[in-house]
Amino acid sequence: MGEFDAIIIGGGACGLMCAVQAGYIGKRVLILERNEKVGEKILISGGGRCNYTNLYASEINFISENEHFCLSAFAQYSVEDTIQFFEAFGIYGEEKTLGQLFPVSNKAKDIVQVFENACKELGQEILCQALVTDILRHESGEFEVQYELKGIFQSIRSKKVVIAENACKELGQEILCQALVTDILRHESGEFEVQYELKGIFQSIRSKKVVIACGGLPIKKMGASDFGLKVAKSFGLRVTEVAPALVPLTITGKDEEWYASLSGNSMFCRVSNDYISFEENILFTHWGLSGPAILQISSYWRPGEKIELDLSPHESIVEYLLNEKQINGKRLLVHLLAEKFPRKFADALGKYIPIQKNLASLTKEDLENIDSLIHHFSVRPAGDKGYDKAEVMRGGVATEELSSKTLEAKKVPGLFFGGECVDVTGWLGGFNFQWAWSSGFVIAQNL
Ligand SMILES: Cc1cc2nc3c(=O)[nH]c(=O)nc-3n(C[C@H](O)[C@H](O)[C@H](O)COP(=O)(O)OP(=O)(O)OC[C@H]3O[C@@H](n4cnc5c(N)ncnc54)[C@H](O)[C@@H]3O)c2cc1C
């Protein structure tokens, strides 16, 4: 297998980009991937079409304890760099909606192919069916630390520095007065080697640098695990609270049947909570709500909280009804609603408002109820569909533990974290891949 500059755990978006970029600067890496082939999640992404970046990506599209953390990676490897990277391999992007870029071919497998070909050409090795189960840190050699004190005296070196007054004349200890200390520098010398030993269903492998690019918890059957988080914890790094994100929300109890009866109906609306709002489609399902607007808000939703739907975000429903009343007051409310919403939904609103009344007979109270229902439709989800249906994991290795410039663990030199296992979670729309590509690039520069 030969010598490697680093070992990358995980042949997903981040690990593959890291391997290729490392190859460009002459570094040899080995990817260890537990699945039979690399890039499984890329293959199913964007409905098999892979929304590989977003033209408008900025820090506001990411959730993190430190929303500025991702900026350094994006400054080093931008959306434009991503576009150029894929264009160099003949993959051109097509914007579908809201800046979301997909390959013109509409085939996610073309994206995976880029990495497989590039790794081959650059001589980067990929070992599949190689589940890593443990990482141990080994230290060897002599390592000396000296502190250098600088001040208005000749600089002095010592292995230990006591920041205190220690007058022990009797013991013959020397005291230098008028010796203002202005600076302390730390010097390291000697041979000191750290190696990480990777254990798994292969012969154990050692490497001075290890990249943890093994993703998050969504979709267990595709190889997802908490391995990255476990490794971080085992090296004393803090991991933030994690939860499924970009995930459908469930409705149970007395409203369950009402939502289920609308399964398959989709409509445009504004979904809001106390923190944020999104304008996109929602989709009714047998177990609750899905669709892009719901997936987006799910990343900001916490159990027990309500969300609000504005089903006519750009037109006052009352003004619409009053205008229509002037034209023909005999028309039934349900017919008007069916012009704005799917017929089945208009019928289902009969549970809450008098849809069989004609416009002329609607009272002030009726209009107030209609306004409240259409513009402030309140939903209290019971839960979410969990990691099996989530597109991404919210949370991960705390950003304060990593250098934003290199993504190396500050306390554990040689250990890098990138992609989904870091506490940087993108919105729906190509943002998560952009983070995976950018973080993979950054790590590669520092191997
Ligand atoms: C259904 C779906 C659709 C999506 N669509 C999009 C989209 O269109 N656009 C977008 O931006 N994002 C999308 N995402 C999110 C995106 O796929 C992830 O954010 C991205 O793949 C994260 O990259 P990663 O390299 O960090 O992790 P991954 O791509 O998940 O790669 C991690 C790899 O590590 C391997 N691994 C894990 N543990 C070990 C171990 N112990 N030993 C060895 N190997 C291990 C895994 O098998 C996996 O191959 C989608 C996600 C899902 C689930």
Q: Say how many Å lie between the CA of residue 223 and the centre of ligand 1.
A: 9
Contact 213, 14 (CB under 8 A): yes
Q: Which atom of ligand 1 is nearest to the CA of 15?
A: 25
- Quote the percentage of the chain above a pLDDT of 90: 83
Q: Say how many Å lie between the CA of residue 67 and the centre of ligand 1.
A: 21
Lowest mean pLDDT among 22-26, 165-169, 226-230: 165-169
pLDDT band at 150 (very low <50, low <70, confident <90, very high): low
Q: Say how many Å lie between the CA of residue 406 and the centre of ligand 1.
A: 21
Q: How far is 189 from 337, CA to CA, in rounded Å?
A: 78
Radius of gyration for the alpha carbons in the chain, expressed in angstroms and rounded = 29
Domains of the chain, start order: 6-137+193-243+387-445 (3.50.50.60), 144-189 (no CATH), 249-384 (2.40.30.10)
Q: Which atom of ligand 1 is nearest to the CA of 227?
A: 41
Q: Say how many Å lie between the CA of residue 42 and the centre of ligand 1.
A: 7
Q: Say how many Å lie between the CA of residue 257 and the centre of ligand 1.
A: 34
Which residue CA neighbors atom 35 of ligand 1 most closely?
Answer: 10
Mean pLDDT over each residue of the chain, to the nearest integer:
92
Q: Looking at residues 66-87, what average pLDDT do you find?
A: 98
Q: Say how many Å lie between the CA of residue 51 and the centre of ligand 1.
A: 13
pLDDT at residue 146 tops 80: no
pLDDT the model gives residue 223: 87
- Quote the percentage of the chain above a pLDDT of 70: 89
Q: Looking at residues 432-446, what average pLDDT do you find?
A: 98
Q: Which atom of ligand 1 is nearest to the CA of 218?
A: 53
pLDDT band at 3 (very low <50, low <70, confident <90, very high): confident
Q: Say how many Å lie between the CA of residue 35 and the centre of ligand 1.
A: 12
Q: Which atom of ligand 1 is nearest to the CA of 215?
A: 27
Which residue CA neighbors atom 53 of ligand 1 most closely?
Answer: 391
pTM for the whole structure:
0.89
pLDDT the model gives residue 161: 54
pLDDT band at 204 (very low <50, low <70, confident <90, very high): confident
pLDDT the model gives residue 116: 98
Which residue CA neighbors atom 49 of ligand 1 most closely?
Answer: 12
Q: How far is 268 from 315, CA to CA, in rounded Å?
A: 12
Contact 279, 290 (CB under 8 A): no
Tell which one of 14, 45, 101, 437 to mutate to probe ligand 1, the residue whose CB is within 8 A of the most ligand atoms. 45
Q: Looking at residues 347-354, what average pLDDT do you find?
A: 96
Q: Looking at residues 386-392, what average pLDDT do you find?
A: 97
Residue ranges around ligand 1 (CB below 6 Å): 9-15, 32-35, 40-41, 44-46, 50-51, 131-132, 213-215, 218-219, 223, 225, 227, 391-392, 419-420, 430-433, 436
Q: Looking at residues 226-238, what average pLDDT do you find?
A: 96
Q: Which atom of ligand 1 is nearest to the CA of 39?
A: 49
Tell which one of 16, 54, 214, 421 to mutate to probe ligand 1, the residue whose CB is within 8 A of the most ligand atoms. 214
Q: Say how many Å lie between the CA of residue 8 and the centre of ligand 1.
A: 14
Q: Say how many Å lie between the CA of residue 177 and the centre of ligand 1.
A: 62
Q: Which residues of 2-35 are buried (b: 16+ CB within 10 A; e: fewer)?
A: eebbbbbbbbbbbbbbbbbbbbeeebbbbbbbbb
Which residue CA neighbors atom 47 of ligand 1 most closely?
Answer: 223
Lowest mean pLDDT among 120-124, 140-144, 228-232, 285-289: 140-144
Q: Which atom of ligand 1 is nearest to the CA of 132?
A: 42
Contact 374, 384 (CB under 8 A): no
Q: Say how many Å lie between the CA of residue 49 and the centre of ligand 1.
A: 15
Q: Looking at residues 359-365, what average pLDDT do you find?
A: 96
Q: Say how many Å lie between the CA of residue 4 and the centre of ligand 1.
A: 24
pLDDT at residue 181 tops 90: no
pLDDT at residue 5 tops 80: yes
pLDDT at residue 335 tops 90: yes
pLDDT the model gives residue 10: 96
